[in-house]
Amino acid sequence: MTQPAKPATPPKAPAISTASEAERAVAYLNKIMDRLVETVEAETAQVRAGRLRDAVANDEAKVELARAYAAETERVKAAKDIIAKSLPDALEQLRKRHGALRALLQTNLTVLATAHAVSEGIIRGVSGELARKQAPSTYGATGRANTPGSKTSQPLAVSKSL
């Protein structure tokens, strides 16, 4: 039995050893953060507006930016002593930007969770309404209407291509 091949991991960036490399690494990390913030803000706005297809279109870019952000963050962390000596304000600015990014991601996750809950509620409502319409309307021994059992309803199929 053969196992599927693992995806190739990108080559690891060289360690930061000089002040000029530190400056380039911090600038690159800031560039990645700028693009990640733009992508997450766009996704959040699209989900809030109900344009889920547009939001999903940015998913691959967001994943790649997040991967690059994590890798470059680790690289900068490993060289924090060199960066602290050559660019004394850079680490504090990166910490502040990271905090702002974390808050933005929390907002994004909240919007995504809300959209998920709303869509789940809609699907459950449609399913319940279909089950109610398909079940016979009968009365029990107490004179109250019987509610349809879960075994009497038909399963609901959802097409993701619509």
pLDDT reported for residue 42: 94
Q: What is the pLDDT of residues 46-99, one digit of tens each?
A: 999 988 888 888 889 999 999 999 999 998 888 888 888 888 888 889 999 999
Q: What are phi and psi of 15, to 5 degrees?
A: -65, 150
pTM above 0.75, yes or no: no
